Amino acid sequence: MEQRTGNKFIRFFVSMKFSMLLLAVIIGVCIAGSLVSSPKSYFGSWWVRAIAAVLCVNLILCSVQRLPVSIANYRRAKSKRIGAFGTWLCHLGMLLVIVSFVAGDMLSEDYTVYGIPGSIQPVADTGLWLRIDDFDVQLRDDFTVEQYVADLTVLDSNGQESSGQASVNHPMSAFGYDLFQDSTGWANTIEIYKDGTFQSSDIVCVGETAYPGDRPSLQVYFNKFYPDFAVDESGSPYSSTPLLNNPRSLFTVYYNGEIKGMDYAVMEVPVRVNEYDFIFRDPTEYTLIVIRRDPTEILVGIAALIMLAGIFLSFYWRPVYGEEAAL
């Protein structure tokens, strides 16, 4: 009895039914992963990889088991013989897709660089530098965004450079990397004065802080920017348009890590904090660029083509055997 149960389990493990069950589970996992706040750590968890590993083992066993049957059907067929390998190619294609994505997750390089037009930033430790030549948000008549466009130049350590344009769904390629327009936000120049004497000037993006060099414990945190500041009936602030008609910056003052106040800064109007003046000015949109290199992209493409070929052969190029040919 135990042997029969074991045999049934093995037959089920190497069956297409189990493959479909695992695929359904993985689809559910992917749908759930699209809703989490940290998808990279979610898909990199041990249990997600364990499900993918079990599917890989299943596909390998199915492919090994199916290959002699496919060869026999190929020899027996009178026409459309290549169609006998349709199911086997589907298994092989799915296996290669999974292996490619796992390898890509392990071998791919991902970096992010953000800045305003004219800024130049290092791309981690790659030896490359990214200069943002220009950045434009193209709006429709109703002020919804039609496209984000960034003009970029990548420079290497030898002084070579490559220029191009990156927009949503249209990456730029340079030195083996793909550059994607990812997101955008606002930055202000914040000038700091102490008793009327200029101290410093920095470009600060939303989510960053500015502080006097002689008192780093006093920090002004840039919370949010409103290009066209307005207040609704409930008293909640919002931006009536994305145009710079009435810009305000929401900020929070911290001292020794404790919140001391929060307010809205008007451009060019000093914000007084003890003996210091903080002046918000020159609001500018910044862009965030993702720089990526994935050595498995070609393998993913080949795997997808193999799987599509298997699906085509399975449904539209079925082999014709002797009895069918006679009809």
- Report, as an integer, the average pLDDT of 9-34: 70
- DSSP assigned state of 170: B
Q: What is the pLDDT of residue 325?
A: 46
Domain regions of the chain by residue span: 2-108+295-326, 110-293
pTM of the model: 0.67
46: confidence class by pLDDT, cuts 50, 70, 90: confident
Q: Are 263 and 60 in contact (CB under 8 A)?
A: no
Work out the angle at residue 39's Cα, subtended by the Cα atoms of residues 37 and 42, and round it to the nearest 5 degrees: 105
Q: Model confidence over 135-174: pLDDT tens digits?
A: 988 888 888 888 889 999 999 988 899 999 999 889 999 9
Q: Which backbone phi and psi does 207 adopt, to 5 degrees? A: 100, 0
Distance CA 201, CA 188 (A): 10
What is the arrangement of strands in the sheet containing 129-139, beginning at the earlier edge strand? 120-122, 129-139, 145-155, 161-167
Q: What is the pLDDT of residue 11?
A: 66
Of 19-28, 34-43, 287-296, least confident by mean pLDDT is: 34-43
